[in-house]
Structure 1
Amino acid sequence: MKTTVYNLIKRAPYKERTLIAMASNLHLSSKKDFQELTKTLDILIKENQIYKDKSGHYNILEKSEVLVTGRLDLKAQGYGFIVVEDKEMPDVYISRSNINSAMDNDLCLVKITNIKNKEKIEGSIEKVLERNLSVVVGEYYNGQIFPKDLHDDIALKLVKEDQKQVKNHQLIKAKIINYKHKYFKDCELIEVIGHVDDEGIETLEVVHKFNLINKFTAEEELFAKSVSQEVKEDEIIGRSDLRKETIFTIDSESTKDIDDAISIKKIKDDYLLGVHIADDSYYVKEDSILDKAAFYRGTSVYLADSVIPMLPKALSNGICSLNPRVDRLTLTCEMQINKKGEVVKYSIFPSVINSKYKMTYTNINKMLNDDQEIIEEYSDIYQDVLLMQELQNILFDIREKMGSIDFETLEPKLLFDEHGKLSDIVIRERQTAERMIEEFMLVANQVVATHIFNQKLPFIYRIHELPNAQKLENVFEFVKKLGYDNYEGDYSQENLQELLKAVENTTYEKVVTTLLLRSMSKARYSRENKGHYGLAFDNYTHFTSPIRRYPDLIVHRFLRKYVFNNDRFYNEKTIERLDEIAKQSSDTEKQAMNAEREVLDIKKAEYMENHINEEYQGVISSVLKFGMFIELPNTIEGLVHISSFKEQMQYDEVNMQLKSTESDKMYQIGQVVTIKVAKVNRLLGRIDFVLV
């Protein structure tokens, strides 16, 4: 039937190429025949032989027509970009009029309509191949649901029988049950979340919007609480007993789910580094109720002033957490490292530890800055800390020489008063103690990955593929305009290192770092080892955070299977399961990051509500045709809309500048300006500035 239908579309006039007209021409009368025609048309579309236009007519896909698939990144203004599956192709711009009922993150078939140049491509959505949005969260009012970030073209109508259960201005969660209409969708009520004026409702909205599972079932909680909070003697059998060793943890003051502990000794000129990781896999058995719960969550989510844990607190903050002065089951990666930073010998084994201290980054940094009071208080570990600093410097230097790229990004830290109210936003410090733990975790992850890779056994890796060449070229062209030449055409890590060093401590540092980060591929989990471009590692995995990351838990299980039990059996089911875990873990990580970012934007807006009309100095972080974004020193960003300028401004797309048509005023990325806070929308997490 496929050939018959294709030939009919090829020869029939345009008006006879609708579904009904073709069914008539083919003399189809039964429901079964009609379904067969529909199925055949769908197959031809998937094979890129035909496409269906906006008016429902089917057309032959000519050789000159280009169709691509990708996910829609829909903007609040109604336009969007298709993030194309072919990573070498730039994102495709879709105007508001060409969205054609697609919704955010839908997988779409797109026809390329205009190629302005190699980096500016426009298109039209021809078909939604896979719906992403099936559940919506928004304010209910007079029969409709109003999500904060859905553009006005689409109306979401709550079915009449459910409207009786809801009051105006309540925040609700609903399921879309009908996608047929372009401009409205029918929805069924799932639950009422609360009133839009309730305390903390903005965070709850994000939790429900991203389908984060913020509660454990009674059965899951009961199972977790049934686990003993003490390590028993018979559980230590077969483990190396490290309880008398000098082992301690280093974390932030607020950390309650402590994954990792460290130890160090000197062996002649070498360092013996011990990285001891909570053995969650002993408590969370494969296919158990807690394993399934952890798989679906994928990761713990940190939402400004709250945490949604991957595991119930009885485990995450209790028996699995490496709390001080209590016995804990661990997996240890012990590495002998020479002065060149080379791991000359290593051993991975199950262990039991008793952490001597819960050290904080603050106190370790004070110790390294010669704070005598702290040194005296922790005198028994002071020499260990100095050794750790030595080793950290060696490991960082060797990593840098290998080509590892250190993106120095500023992270905000939210401070809350005793009543839980946001009091300030400052820059999160990244001093020696923080870098020390980072280096030790990196080398442990690398050793574990290399050990399994060399044995050619199925495993889960943390990979970071090569960056998008075109996006990198765009960055090189941009920095050339800033006066930084000779970077184009070289996509090596060393070249990017040189560029980052060149802009270090300039007003362009943050902007160039951000642009380079955007040109990078997203790190993800994979059964196939493709190396880690950013770290310049051939082999890398995540082993060090099993309390808050599901892949780490899986890595622990494979270590137990392959290394401790010497069981190397695997089959096709093992491979399929690893692929499933890698995809789920990558998806939930992205989901968590988006939720964390959105809550952070809301909190930043909440903070700036108390600073309306105040003036600040900031740096222009991006220039667009509708205005420019200004970033303040504490990472808060706001928009100066083009309509707020006192003079008529024109956007120079080539040089990414806004130029006055009335004077010689000009604004570009990296320029320092003074702004005043004009308006704040806490719900949307948006801040408007005006120039002073």
Structure 2
Amino acid sequence: MTEDIQKYSLFIKNSKFFFGRILKRDSKTRNVELELNNQKKTICKIKDLILEVSLANSSTTNNNIELSDLWSDLSNKTQIISTNEFINFALNKYEISNYFDLDNLIEKLNIDYTFFKILNSESIYINSKEVVEKINLKKISKINNQNLNKEFINKLKNKSKIDHIKYSSQYDNIKKFFGGKKQYDKKFINRINEELNLNNNSFIYFLKDNNYFSMEQIIAMKFNLENTFLYNFNLSEINKINPAEISAFTVDDENTKDYDDAISIKFHDDYVLISVHITNFSNLIDYMSEPEIFARNNMQTIYSPYGNYNLYSDEIIEQISLIKNNIKDVISIVFKVDKEYKILSYELKKNRILIEENYSYTNFEYLIKKNQNFQFLKSFTDYHRSKRLINADFAEFNNDISLFLDADQKLQIKVSNLESHKVISELMILANSYTADFMQLNNIFSIYRKQDESANLIVDSIESDNPFKFFRNVSPIKVSTDNGPHCGLGVDNYIQFTSPIRRYHDSIIMRQLNSFLDCKDIFFSKEDLDNILKSTNSKLEISKNKSKNVYKFCALKYLLDNCKYETDVHVYSVLKNDYIIYLSELNIFDLVSKNQFKKIYKINDKISIKYDFIDLFNLNIRNIEEIL
């Protein structure tokens, strides 16, 4: 029986072989139309033709074509071989006489780069033994990883316990996905969502509800936050011999562990001493030690209802925090006050204090009404607030809105409008402003916060269930080593040093003051501080953005958990194509296209809206419509 012999052509295009029958030739473009074995067609350049060969169209094939055999024969002879010579060598080695055998060889060359690499239409590169071994190891690793992916997804389906070490690659991919990294395995994540019928929101809940990740860990992954401390650090020995010189108390949130500041009040016949004490760990944690560098890289503590992302490890915080029944080293700002609440004098000194109590704001609110000392403290801060506000751009700010977990671990809203907040806030402003004056008068280089007068300030008061104000045309805060007025607060000089556990720059000022109060010497020169600001300003901005995003994530989760798909918003700003809207209940902003609304709105307008999707992953509300 006569075999059907046909003429076939072999081309190289885009570093791949194309093998089939030429259907058409175009002499003008010098292109050919090639029909491949799957009846698909492609265009090739005539110049990329490798060879033409007549082959039987037989279905009897040689199943022993292995690229490893071909490589073994060629690898010891040369490293680069001409394409023609290579193909002819393969034809002879495997005695290829029919179309299907050559097509089989070509297909293997196109999909397997272990042994050979097409350099161009004229040359083939023969991989070395080392390269082949390396590629084979990668292939084995890829196969193993694919198997682990499959096992991992099955365990998710069955809600089984998963070994973090065995499936470390799968966990890393989930972390990269949440963190918005480009290098994650998209096929793996898509397969999880497809097989478990999840979207990005439900993926978050699935991982949390089945204890694969805590919400604290999910937030850390999502916003690239550090919540593990890899350093092994022993604090310097605390001096436990010297007794405390004064007793004090703290006032903070219920769940606080990082107590930076404490207060004491002592009455004398003709005056009262009111002291603000700031923890001083200058001699416990060395500058540029591992914990200090970690704090420098993260700049500020970021708070969430599910757990905080601190500047220091829990072990260190326990040692430096002003915790009840402990004696701690502090820097004290002591105000000598007359019975009319006027400050007669003040001094800064190093102290050792005994913390008698850690009050919550709620407890302290109650005690203000019962305790004469605390009543005096409230009257003192009221007096100085009213004096300060005469020169301040801002008479008051919006109430602080935060989120917390109730006893059932559900998110709840907390509005901070207690008198106790105002008392502590004003004491911190006094401490910071008087310390700034002290540093300026004593030529101690510092990190100052200035704010020019907001000459064109607009304050719009919005009456609603949650009354608030919009502040526009506010002068920016300037942070530098040059002192100057802070017009927003109405003070001549201002620094922030009352939270050295929570804010990195505060700890720098703490070290500077500690050195000066010890020996009238400075720890940092002006150039040192300028360099610190230069190297940390961008880190601080990144940290602030992370903090805002963590809060917005939790706020949106509150809406999602409570199935709140309708709310009232106000227009903060009108852009060319969008509105910036404000959800006062949660103190968050969002961007919405004007096209989503039927009416035209102006700033401060109230809009009742509904929406059908709260996107935790992209931190926005989608498919918004107004309720008319």
Once the 2 structures are TM-superposed, how far is the Cα of residue 253 of structure 1 from its aligned partner?
Answer: 0.5
Q: 1:562 and 1:325 mapped to 2: Cα distance?
A: 29
**Where does residue 309 of structure 1 map in the other structure?**
310
Give the SS at the match of 1:464.
Answer: strand
Q: 1:167 and 1:543 mapped to 2: Cα distance?
A: 40
Q: 1:391 and 1:607 mapped to 2: Cα distance?
A: 38
* Amino acid of the structure 1 residue aligned with 2:404: L
Matching of residues 47-196 of structure 1 within 5 Å: 170-172=174-176
CA RMSD of aligned residues (A): 3.8
**Where does residue 415 of structure 1 map in the other structure?**
404
% same residue: 22
Once the 2 structures are TM-superposed, how far is the Cα of residue 509 of structure 1 from its aligned partner?
Answer: 10
Select which of 242, 256, 280 maps to 2:245: 242
Q: 1:641 and 1:611 mapped to 2: Cα distance?
A: 25
- Name the CA shift for 1:507/1:272 in 2 (closer, same or farther; >3 Å): same
Give the SS at the match of 2:612.
Answer: strand
**Where does residue 513 of structure 1 map in the other structure?**
470
Select which of 576, 591, 595 maps to 2:527: 576
How high is the TM-score relative to the length of structure 2?
0.62
Q: 1:433 and 1:597 mapped to 2: Cα distance?
A: 25
Q: Is the 8 A contact 2:215 2:306 kept in 1?
A: no
- Name the CA shift for 1:250/1:165 in 2 (closer, same or farther; >3 Å): closer
**Where does residue 347 of structure 1 map in the other structure?**
347
* Amino acid of the structure 2 residue aligned with 1:631: L
Once the 2 structures are TM-superposed, how far is the Cα of residue 453 of structure 1 from its aligned partner?
Answer: 0.9
Q: 1:165 and 1:330 mapped to 2: Cα distance?
A: 46
Q: 2:422 and 2:179 mapped to 1: Cα distance?
A: 45
- CA shift digits 1:608-648 (9 cap, x unpaired): 22455754344333444335625243435556643444x4x
- CA shift digits 1:220-255 (9 cap, x unpaired): 3x314x555x65105x6xxxx424x4x211111111
Once the 2 structures are TM-superposed, how far is the Cα of residue 397 of structure 1 from its aligned partner?
Answer: 0.9
**Where does residue 241 of structure 2 map in the other structure?**
233
* Amino acid of the structure 2 residue aligned with 1:520: S
- CA shift digits 1:522-548 (9 cap, x unpaired): 353x22223323123222212211111
Q: 1:252 and 1:333 mapped to 2: Cα distance?
A: 23
* Amino acid of the structure 2 residue aligned with 1:681: D
Select which of 388, 392, 408 maps to 1:403: 392
Give the SS at the match of 1:551.
Answer: helix
**Where does residue 612 of structure 2 map in the other structure?**
678
Q: 1:623 and 1:569 mapped to 2: Cα distance?
A: 49
* Amino acid of the structure 1 residue aligned with 2:411: S
* Amino acid of the structure 2 residue aligned with 1:223: F
Q: 1:362 and 1:569 mapped to 2: Cα distance?
A: 39
Q: 2:565 and 2:222 mapped to 1: Cα distance?
A: 33
Alignment partner of 1:216 is 2:229: yes
Alignment partner of 1:593 is 2:594: no
Once the 2 structures are TM-superposed, how far is the Cα of residue 672 of structure 1 from its aligned partner?
Answer: 3.2
Once the 2 structures are TM-superposed, how far is the Cα of residue 167 of structure 1 from its aligned partner?
Answer: 9.6
Which range is displaced more, 353-362 or 618-627?
618-627
Matching of residues 474-485 of structure 1 within 5 Å: none
Q: 2:495 and 2:528 mapped to 1: Cα distance?
A: 17
Give the SS at the match of 2:322.
Answer: coil
How high is the TM-score relative to the length of structure 1?
0.57
Q: 1:454 and 1:339 mapped to 2: Cα distance?
A: 27
Q: 2:435 and 2:171 mapped to 1: Cα distance?
A: 55
Which range is displaced more, 274-283 or 504-513?
504-513
Q: 1:313 and 1:532 mapped to 2: Cα distance?
A: 35
Q: 1:362 and 1:305 mapped to 2: Cα distance?
A: 21
- Name the CA shift for 1:538/1:173 in 2 (closer, same or farther; >3 Å): farther
Select which of 539, 544, 562 maps to 2:493: 539
Once the 2 structures are TM-superposed, how far is the Cα of residue 438 of structure 1 from its aligned partner?
Answer: 0.9
Q: 2:580 and 2:289 mapped to 1: Cα distance?
A: 51
Once the 2 structures are TM-superposed, how far is the Cα of residue 275 of structure 1 from its aligned partner?
Answer: 0.7
Q: 2:513 and 2:277 mapped to 1: Cα distance?
A: 14
- CA shift digits 1:326-347 (9 cap, x unpaired): 2222121111134676533122
Which range is displaced more, 282-291 or 561-570?
561-570
Q: 1:442 and 1:628 mapped to 2: Cα distance?
A: 32
- CA shift digits 1:347-374 (9 cap, x unpaired): 2111111122111110121234x4xxxx
Once the 2 structures are TM-superposed, how far is the Cα of residue 560 of structure 1 from its aligned partner?
Answer: 2.2
Q: 2:258 and 2:475 mapped to 1: Cα distance?
A: 31
Q: Is the 8 A contact 1:334 1:347 kept in 2?
A: yes
- Name the CA shift for 1:586/1:407 in 2 (closer, same or farther; >3 Å): farther
**Where does residue 97 of structure 2 map in the other structure?**
none
- Name the CA shift for 1:640/1:612 in 2 (closer, same or farther; >3 Å): farther
**Where does residue 521 of structure 2 map in the other structure?**
567
Q: Is the 8 A contact 1:507 1:671 kept in 2?
A: no
Unaligned stretches of 5+ residues in structure 2: 1-145, 147-167, 193-199
Q: 1:510 and 1:359 mapped to 2: Cα distance?
A: 29
**Where does residue 285 of structure 1 map in the other structure?**
286
* Amino acid of the structure 1 residue aligned with 2:452: L
Q: 1:175 and 1:413 mapped to 2: Cα distance?
A: 24
Q: Based on CA coordinates, which of the two structures has the bigger radius of gyration?
A: 2
| Count of residue correspondences | 441
Q: 1:555 and 1:621 mapped to 2: Cα distance?
A: 37
Unaligned stretches of 5+ residues in structure 1: 1-141, 143-163, 177-185, 376-381, 473-489, 650-657, 659-666
Matching of residues 601-640 of structure 1 within 5 Å: 601-612=552-563, 614-624=565-575, 625-627=577-579, 629-635=581-587
- CA shift digits 1:571-619 (9 cap, x unpaired): xxx3332112223444333222211211222222222224557543443
- CA shift digits 1:5-34 (9 cap, x unpaired): xxxxxxxxxxxxxxxxxxxxxxxxxxxxxx
**Where does residue 435 of structure 1 map in the other structure?**
422
- CA shift digits 1:202-228 (9 cap, x unpaired): 8757645765433211xx3x314x555
